[in-house]
Amino acid sequence: MSICYITLFFLTFLGDFTHDVREKVVVDDLIKHALDSFNFELKTVAYRRGRTENNGCRVLIFVENSNSFAFLYETSNWAKL
């Protein structure tokens, strides 16, 4: 008997940038901001760089659970630039 595991990851994206960014730095800063400002442990699984329609940079973040997805979905949780 074989067992099949299904893992569900939630995908969200963190804004569009007009210049190239280092996605690891963006994600690390976001995790630190969530912990320092909201005492929330953001659980990420993976991230990658994407491109926008006008050749800008987009950071795609895969999160581990629905709480982390809900945290990122709420734009008031994002750091103010």
Q: Give a yes or no: residue 69 inside a domain.
A: yes
Domain that holds residue 36: 10-77
Residue type, 45: V
Q: Give a yes or no: residue 5 inside a domain.
A: no
What's the pLDDT at 52?
A: 72
Q: Give a yes or no: residue 2 inside a domain.
A: no
Q: 21-76, pLDDT tens digit by residue?
A: 678 888 898 899 999 999 999 998 888 877 777 777 777 888 888 899 889 888 88
Q: What is the DSSP string of the chain?
A: ---------EEEEEEEESS---HHHHHHHHHHHHHHHH-----EEEEEEEE-TTS-EEEEEEESSHHHHHHHH-GGGSPP-
The domain tally of the chain equals 1
Q: Give a yes or no: residue 31 inside a domain.
A: yes
Q: Give a yes or no: residue 44 inside a domain.
A: yes
Q: Give a yes or no: residue 1 inside a domain.
A: no
Q: Give a yes or no: residue 28 inside a domain.
A: yes
Q: Is the pLDDT of residue 19 over 80?
A: no
